[in-house]
Copies of this chain bind each other. A is one copy, B any other.
Amino acid sequence: MELSFADARELAIDVLSSHGLPSDHAAIVADHLVDAAGAGHAFAGLPRVLAVIEHLKDFPAGEPITITQKTRNSAVIDGAQNNGYVTSLIGIDKAIELARETGIGVVSINNTWFSGRLAYYVERAAREGFIALHTASTQARVAPAGGIDRIFGTNPVAFAFPADPEPLVIDFGTGMTTWGNVLLRRKLGQPLDPDSAVDKDGNPTLDPAEALLGAFLPWGGHRGYGLALVVQVLAVLSGGKIVANDVPDSGFFFLVIDPELLLPAEEFRQKVGELVAHIEASRPAPGISKVRVPGKGSLQKRHIAKVRGTIEVDEAVYETLVSLRNGPQAAA
């Protein structure tokens, strides 16, 4: 079904607030989820309200988040077990502030939990004219290449660059699959893609239930494993655990750079735009209509949704959220 942006946002805020999230935090989460839905990432949209309120039982919100400025260009944030949608917004804004002052900002966050689409945060920096790199370790589910034990999270990484006319945003996970996707396949009774996971004994499996007990495999063989390891090490630098067995063991890393440090910012924006246009105008492979540029699809979908004024929400998710609107007691 279709919901207006305003109605979807209000519904998300109501459910989150009535389940213990302070209203300012609820608004931050809702803005993120509605944006994700508009950008075509249905799974990262309103269904996440349910995951957040589930986690709020174990990690009650509202303890004060502390920002410790370490140097002129770095800050460490203790998330006090608040959710990552809130802490990461504070983190990227702090990194932007530092970059505005010194040209570069580095920020770490620990003691927090999931934060949605990393693209959301880096795009925010790029729209302010900055380059951003953001990585996050997540709960351990992925084995190293050649291994079968869970060591890494699905460890996403995101980059954004200011560009004309729109920022270039590149983000991806370093696991072959995601926790959410495996849960969904199990629910739908669908097998996993080949080479996605191993069972608890390390044998390849297509069974989502076996994969949940075993480990996911890293994307991209030894090179992808290398990148997963980089994200894990940046998480350790950010105060995360070596292996994130529990949800708040993650570490989030933010780096924001003013392009002006190396090249006139206007020239950089223009050249990145030219590179993007050059790629889009290049010859596609047989059977492909057009060469795609990462992130462009999300930007276009969001643009269309904004013009239309609505986002698509699964009807069952909507009904559940409405039933939870007045808090857990009301739903019970």
Contact = CB atoms under 8 A, between A and B. Distances in A.
Contacts of A239: 262-263
Interface in A262-293: 262-263, 268, 271-272, 274-275, 278-279, 282-286, 288, 290-293
B222 A220 contact: no
A74 interface: yes
A259 interface: yes
Give the number of times this chain occurs in the complex, counting copies. Answer: 2
A71 interface: yes
A203 interface: yes
A327 interface: no
Contacts of A131: 237
B285 A222 contact: no
Contact of A223 (B71, B220, B232, B274): B220
A148 interface: yes
Interface in A221-278: 222-227, 229-230, 232-233, 236-239, 242-243, 255, 257, 259, 261-263, 268, 271-272, 274-275, 278
A76 interface: yes
Query: How many of chain A's residues touch chain B, expressed as a range?
Result: 35 or more
Given A261-B74, A262-B108, A220 B224 contact: yes
A170 B172 CA distance: 19
A146 B284 CA distance: 6
A106 interface: yes
Q: Chain A interface secondary structure, helix, strand, loop or mixed? A: mixed
A256 to B, nearest CB: 11
A56 to B, nearest CB: 28
Contact of A268 (B222, B223, B236, B292): B236
A225 B151 CA distance: 25
Given A223-B219, A233-B168, A282-B149, A275 B242 contact: yes
A73 B284 contact: no
A39 interface: no
Given A144-B282, A171-B226, A236-B272, 4 more contacts: A73-B261, A168-B229, A236-B268, A237-B262
